[in-house]
Amino acid sequence: MAAALANDSPKYRNSLICCSPRSVDVESKSPSSSSTSGCVSADDSYDSNCIPKSIANKKLKIHSSATREELEKAITQSKELILSSAQCSDERKWLVRYLVELRLRLEDLKENDGQPRLGVSIKGHHFKQQIAPANRKQYCDHCSGVIWSIVQGSYICDNCDYLCHYKCVDHICRVCAHVVMTEKGQFEMSICPEKGLAAQDYKCAECHTALTFKDSWNEPRLCDYTGLYFCATCHWNDMSAIPARVIHNWDWEKRYISRLAYQMLTLSWDRPYIDVESINSKLFNFIAELEWVHKMRKGLEWMRRYLCACSSGTSLLSPLFVQLGDVNKKYSMSHLQAINDGTLETQLTELTEVCRSHITSCALCSGKGYLCEVCGNNEVLYPFDSGAILCNECNSMYHRGCWLRKGQICLKCQRLQERKQNAPSEDQPDTQVECEYDIDKFVE
């Protein structure tokens, strides 16, 4: 029975053995060693909970069973350190996050007064007790054991879906993936930035368990996203496409990642974090679908400006913002995946036709079009037309063919330049004004 449970656990998935004494080590590990490790990874870019060296000797960490007086004392000490720290420094960021955690723990202590806790705030997580667990089998993210919902209580984080036993909640060592991605604000754009086990002191990047190649049950597992090594408890061989490989090589093959990376990618999959133009602009030359979608998004951005100023076109803004995201130049992983599948190109084509039909037929929107003064015909031009070109200096529009025939010279800019050259100098009008309105002539 024990061997069957071990084989079914994600901890031993794709491993070389069926049952492992590692589970006993996890159970027997002291709570203080796991709850006060204060480290998420060996890399500073992912170590959002590691105490900065400048305040490491302040003894800020307190035990999970701290009393109300101890929490209030720690809150006061944290406030003093925040005021004495430099603005926007790593120390102040860590202290502010830690102060918020202490206050939430104090509120939980006041509300529950020794009763079972319905909510727990620790390491950026906002845990809520699972009242109606899912029908599927669930595993604890801390010990990778099965959660028996009938006899065992469990918590789940509202932000990152971190799941753990009731008994494990005070001993977790992973910072909430939502906090990590919010502070970073971008994906890792280096392909598997591996530093080696020596840089991690041959320990797991999350729980600091000793790793070795001698025992198959304790072999290190590489996370292809972070480039760090994890133990089997922190690395369940989850697979996902890697943003860096997609941007640099358009490689959508799924690779093994740790639980932390899996939660980070799952949370940020729909967030527009990727600026393809600045990271790898040459990708547009090799992926025709990406180039076409990029042109359509630029056209839709111009259409959005027309629709925002039209009362009857505001109904089209909602689907437009969904496709454009927060920033026109940036893409999310879901955008790129839809481009690879061909679905986003179809959606943008249909949306472009709907918006174009409204703008060209609406009296208010069509009145804001342009006329080409080179050919002089009555065809109305818009900035989102593929056959039109916009002058970056004066925002005049021309047919692309007319623009090329004129040697890419804007007639309006040329007139403004000639008018500026023929205008009298700045010194001459000032002299005339002084002679004409000299106050000495009127006062004698």
- Tokens (6 digits) for 285: 């030359």
Q: Give the percent of the chain with pLDDT over 90.
A: 22
H or E stretch covering 389: strand 388-390
Same domain, 23 and 165: yes
The per-residue pLDDT of the chain, averaged, comes to 77
Same domain, 235 and 155: yes
Q: What is the pLDDT of residues 160-211, one digit of tens each?
A: 989 998 888 888 889 999 989 988 889 999 999 998 899 999 999 998 889 9
CA 430 to chain centre: 57
Same domain, 378 and 361: no
Q: Is the pLDDT score of 16 beyond 60?
A: no
Q: Which of 124-128, 279-283, 428-432 has the lowest mean pLDDT?
A: 428-432
Q: Is the pLDDT score of 113 beyond 70?
A: no
Q: What is the pLDDT of residue 439?
A: 39
Range of the domain at 87: 50-122
Q: Which residue has the higher pLDDT, 319 or 431?
A: 319
Domain termination site, one of 351, 368, 385: 368
Q: What is the pLDDT of residues 358-411, one digit of tens each?
A: 988 888 888 888 888 888 777 888 888 888 888 878 878 888 888 888 888 888
Nearest to 226 by CA among 44, 39, 11: 44
Written as one letter, the residue type at 283 is: L
Q: Which of 15-29, 191-205, 419-433 has the lowest mean pLDDT?
A: 15-29
Same domain, 337 and 432: no
Domain count of the chain? 4
In a domain, 40, yes or no: no
- For residue 112, name the pLDDT band (cuts at 50, 70, 90): low
| Residue partners of 159: CB distance under 8 A and separation at least 6 | 124, 125, 126, 176, 177, 178, 179, 267
pTM: 0.67
- Could you tell me the sign of the dihedral formed by the alpha carbons of 277, 280, 282, 285, in that order? negative
Task: Return the number of other C-beta atoms located less than 10 Å from residue 85's C-beta.
Answer: 19
Same domain, 138 and 229: yes
Same domain, 16 and 154: yes
Tell me the mean pLDDT in the region 149-161: 81
- Tokens (6 digits) for 377: 């015909």
Q: Which residue has the higher pLDDT, 95 or 152?
A: 95
Same domain, 142 and 259: yes
- For residue 23, name the pLDDT band (cuts at 50, 70, 90): very low
- For residue 42, name the pLDDT band (cuts at 50, 70, 90): very low
Q: Which residue has the higher pLDDT, 3 or 321?
A: 321
Q: Which residue has the higher pLDDT, 154 or 109?
A: 154
